[in-house]
Amino acid sequence: MLSRICFVLAALALLPFAPALAQPTATAPRTTIADGPLSDRRVSYTITATLDPEARTVQGSERVTWRNPDRAPVGELQFHLYLNAFKNERSTFMRESGGKHRGFSARGTDVWGGIDVTRMAIAPPQPGDTAPPGAYSAEETDLTDRIRFIQPDDGNPDDQTVIAVTLPRPVAPGETIALDIDFTALMPKVVARTGWAETEQGHRFFMVAQWFPKLGVYEEPGVRYVPADAPHGQWNTHQFHANTEFYADFGTYRVTMTVPEAYVVGASGVRVNETTEAGARTLTYQADDVHDFAWTASPDFLEYTDTWRHVNLRLLLQPHHKAQAERHFKAVKAALDRYDAWVGEYPYTTLTLVDGIGGSNGMEYPTLITCGTTYKMPGWMRLPELVTVHEFGHQYFYGMIASNEFEEAWLDEGINSYFEARIMDDAYGPGAVVKLPYIQVSDEGMQRLMYTKNAPDRGAVFTRAWEYEDAEDYSKATYAKPATLLLTLENYLGRETTDQVFQTYYDRWRFRHPTTRDFIAVAEEVSGMDLGWFFDQYVYGVAVVDYEVASLRSSKAEPPEGTEGDWYESRVEVHRKQDGVFPQTLLVRFEDGSEERLAWDGVDAWKRFTFHKAARAAEAYLDPDNAVRLDVNRLDNRKIAGTDNTLARKEQLDLTSLLQQVFYLIAGLF
């Protein structure tokens, strides 16, 4: 999910953009370009759903099949019922958020939603199941009365976003169990990600996400933080919090949706069938090797299609945004190109881009992203591009690598924000985000500003998402700070080595749910360096980097024996002002045009460098290459001797300070 930055800045748009259309293509015949499974496909879902726009309901039935990966029997299943976060003001999400999310509030009529499981039963054994026939008696198959709500995180008795079901008999190691579940999903008014909204044409738009009973992740011994010698694994199912997103196992989805005939549908995966009868359209989608399924429906969508190599691109756009179609396609192709080169292959054959409404925008689902825009978005403000690039990146770090976003959100949002900055700045050049005659904002600079302006010493990156003090700390530590620390690490390791780190990480851990320590292990292996000092300070800790050139002085000195002319002793004193330690480069320029570069480990609180030369030191500059992006105040990294207050220098500093304050004010809105 993208921070609300995109939506606040989008409101500033004033100017039109020229219309553009793309060429249609045929629907891809399969979900991925691979011939066989990409993941272990531990779960499978077959779902039928009927949308009633007037009632705002989705009537659904699902058969979910789960395989026990543990070496011990498992006697309980746990499911997420995410929609119950919007059931009333007493849910944990509503208590934590106050009913607000990214600037949108739960107000007005038809606000509330939820999910009601009306039946849960053990299904008869299916072909291919490893459970023996007759494992359950007829009396044991109905589980509806065994459903109970649990609150593993905060004990809030009113939160109903997680359920547990005790089985009449445990599922043996390696065996499967299939459940048949009937449910009704009442879609809330869109506040956070999912629900309904009214279109400009007076119709209803639906973003149907987190909408079905969804199994949690059972982590067996040796997976993530479960000790390898533990006697058994454990369920990882967190409640729906204000600051968290999602975590699930990989599998297959076959979803059949019935909607009114006038509605245009977009969904995860590949459309494999479509029929129309009695004023209703029924569509079937297949999605393989994914861990979620979402869909959208509206009678107002305009549909545009294009291709990138093996990928069929589909854009569903609100009619009043049609002039911006090509901007979305250009941005997603820029992202596809660079992810393919810098990280690895996009293995799916489809990608759907959705121009959502309100709080449904800026969100990611397997092979489907919401990357909406604003009417008359000017070309100098590349917010549609930024949102599209960011949300596409989630196909990798949320989608395929699939770390636990409840517990280690930075492994998705932070790494994704890092690549967003690289891609935007590489694809669009200077002023990648905002480009005006006198103000240019790069994505990398925006990330750094979002970190430095917002209490940089609060909230470690490695923190469970709902445990941050407030939403600002979560946003900073999950998005901007990880992006900035990874940009700093890239400058330290070099671009080539950094790309090898991410390529190795992707190849090794896709479809496997890695952890922070897994990422660090790859970085150390590929770089050949011990990077504990870096990650301990800036991921596990809250250290802040701030260095300064404290003084620069030159005085006459005795010339070396055998030389003539004036000689000078120049002294440069540098300070470490905060607790963060990072190696530094000091550049000293002298009046005769010569330069000296020195390395400093940055450990001591201060250090003095002395030079004996036939010229005075004219300038001292810490980190002249701007490599240490974590440094929170770069205005004190440079000193000029003597006439440092010349008009030109003064105006330069005044302009820098002015721009910084302007950006701070803008950033304060995000």
Q: What is the pLDDT of residue 105?
A: 78
Inter-helix orientation angle 443-452/647-667, to 10°: 80
Q: What is the pLDDT of residue 564?
A: 85
Q: What is the pLDDT of residue 61?
A: 98
Whole-number percent of the chain with pLDDT over 70: 90
**59 bridge partner residues:** 50, 184
Query: What average pLDDT does this structure show over 446-472?
Result: 94
**Above 90 in pLDDT, residue 6?**
no
Confidence of residue 9 (pLDDT cuts 50, 70, 90): very low
Confidence of residue 665 (pLDDT cuts 50, 70, 90): very low
**Above 50 in pLDDT, residue 669?**
no
Query: What average pLDDT does this structure show over 533-538?
Result: 98
Cα distances from 532 to residues 40, 521, 539, 540, 584, in angstroms, run 32, 10, 10, 10, 18
Q: Can you read off the two tokens belonging to residue 308? A: 């990138």
Q: What is the pLDDT of residue 100?
A: 83
> Number of C-alpha atoms within 13 angstroms, CB side, residue 336?
20
| Residue spans of beta strands (DSSP E) within 362-492 | 363-365, 368-370, 434-435, 440-441
Q: How far apart are CA 600 and CA 598, in angstroms?
A: 7
Q: Which of 205-214, 221-230, 292-301, 451-460 is least confident?
A: 451-460
Average pLDDT taken over every residue of the chain: 90
| Beta strand 368-370 pairing with 350-354 | parallel
CB atoms within 10 A of CB 209: 25
Whether 307 and 317 have beta carbons less than 8 Å apart is answered as no
Q: What is the pLDDT of residue 597?
A: 97
Q: What is the pLDDT of residue 18?
A: 30
Query: What average pLDDT does this structure show over 614-633?
Result: 97
| CA-based nearest residue to 600, from 614, 570, 621, 617 | 621
Rounded to 5 degrees, φ, ψ at 27 are -70, 135
| CA-based nearest residue to 443, from 102, 1, 2 | 2
- pLDDT (tens digit per residue) in 51-66: 999 999 999 999 999 9
- pLDDT (tens digit per residue) in 399-443: 999 999 999 999 999 999 999 999 999 999 999 999 998 899 999
Whole-number percent of the chain with pLDDT over 90: 82
Cα distances from 485 to residues 160, 406, 448, 570, in angstroms, run 37, 21, 9, 34
Q: Which of 100-114, 317-331, 498-512, 637-651 is least confident?
A: 637-651
| CA-based nearest residue to 285, from 181, 365, 380 | 365
Is pLDDT larger for residue 47 or for residue 5? Answer: 47
Q: What is the pLDDT of residue 561?
A: 86
Give the torsion through C-alpha atoms of 266, 268, 271, 274, to 10 deg: -50
**205 bridge partner residues:** 197
Q: What is the pLDDT of residue 226?
A: 97
Query: What average pLDDT does this structure show over 80-84?
Result: 97
Pinpoint the residues of the chain covered by CATH 2.60.40.1730.
47-269+281-300
Task: Tell me the DSSP string of 123-166.
Answer: PPP-TT--SPTT-S-GGGSB-GGGEEE--TTT--TT--SEEEEE
Total residues found in the chain within this entry: 670
| Beta strand 311-317 pairing with 350-354 | parallel
| Beta strand 251-260 pairing with 43-52 | parallel
pTM (2 d.p.):
0.91
CATH fold for the domain made of 47-269+281-300: Immunoglobulin-like (2.60.40)
Q: What is the pLDDT of residue 76?
A: 98
- pLDDT (tens digit per residue) in 218-247: 999 999 999 999 999 999 999 999 998 999
Confidence of residue 126 (pLDDT cuts 50, 70, 90): low
Whether 585 and 624 have beta carbons less than 8 Å apart is answered as yes
Which of the listed CATH numbers 3.40.50, 2.30.30, 2.60.40, 2.40.128 matches domain 547-667?
Answer: 2.60.40
Q: How far apart are CA 188 and CA 196, in angstroms?
A: 6
Q: What is the pLDDT of residue 140?
A: 80
Query: What average pLDDT does this structure show over 456-480?
Result: 95
Query: What average pLDDT does this structure show over 182-188?
Result: 98
Q: Helix, strand or coil for residue 18?
A: coil
Query: What average pLDDT does this structure show over 280-298?
Result: 98
- pLDDT (tens digit per residue) in 571-608: 999 999 999 999 999 999 999 999 999 999 999 999 99
**Above 80 in pLDDT, residue 159?**
yes
Q: Can you read off the two tokens belonging to residue 175? A: 């065996």
Q: Which of 387-401, 529-543, 622-636, 640-654 is least confident?
A: 640-654
188 exposure class (CB count in 10 Å sphere: 0-12, 13-18, 19+):
buried
**Amino acid identity, residue 447?**
Q
**Above 70 in pLDDT, residue 36?**
yes
Q: Can you read off the two tokens belonging to residue 625? A: 């290459």
- pLDDT (tens digit per residue) in 486-520: 999 999 999 999 999 999 999 999 999 999 999 99
Whether 373 and 384 have beta carbons less than 8 Å apart is answered as yes
CB atoms within 10 A of CB 345: 15
Q: What is the pLDDT of residue 222?
A: 96
Q: What is the pLDDT of residue 529?
A: 98
Query: What average pLDDT does this structure show over 363-385?
Result: 93
**Above 70 in pLDDT, residue 23?**
no
571 exposure class (CB count in 10 Å sphere: 0-12, 13-18, 19+):
middle
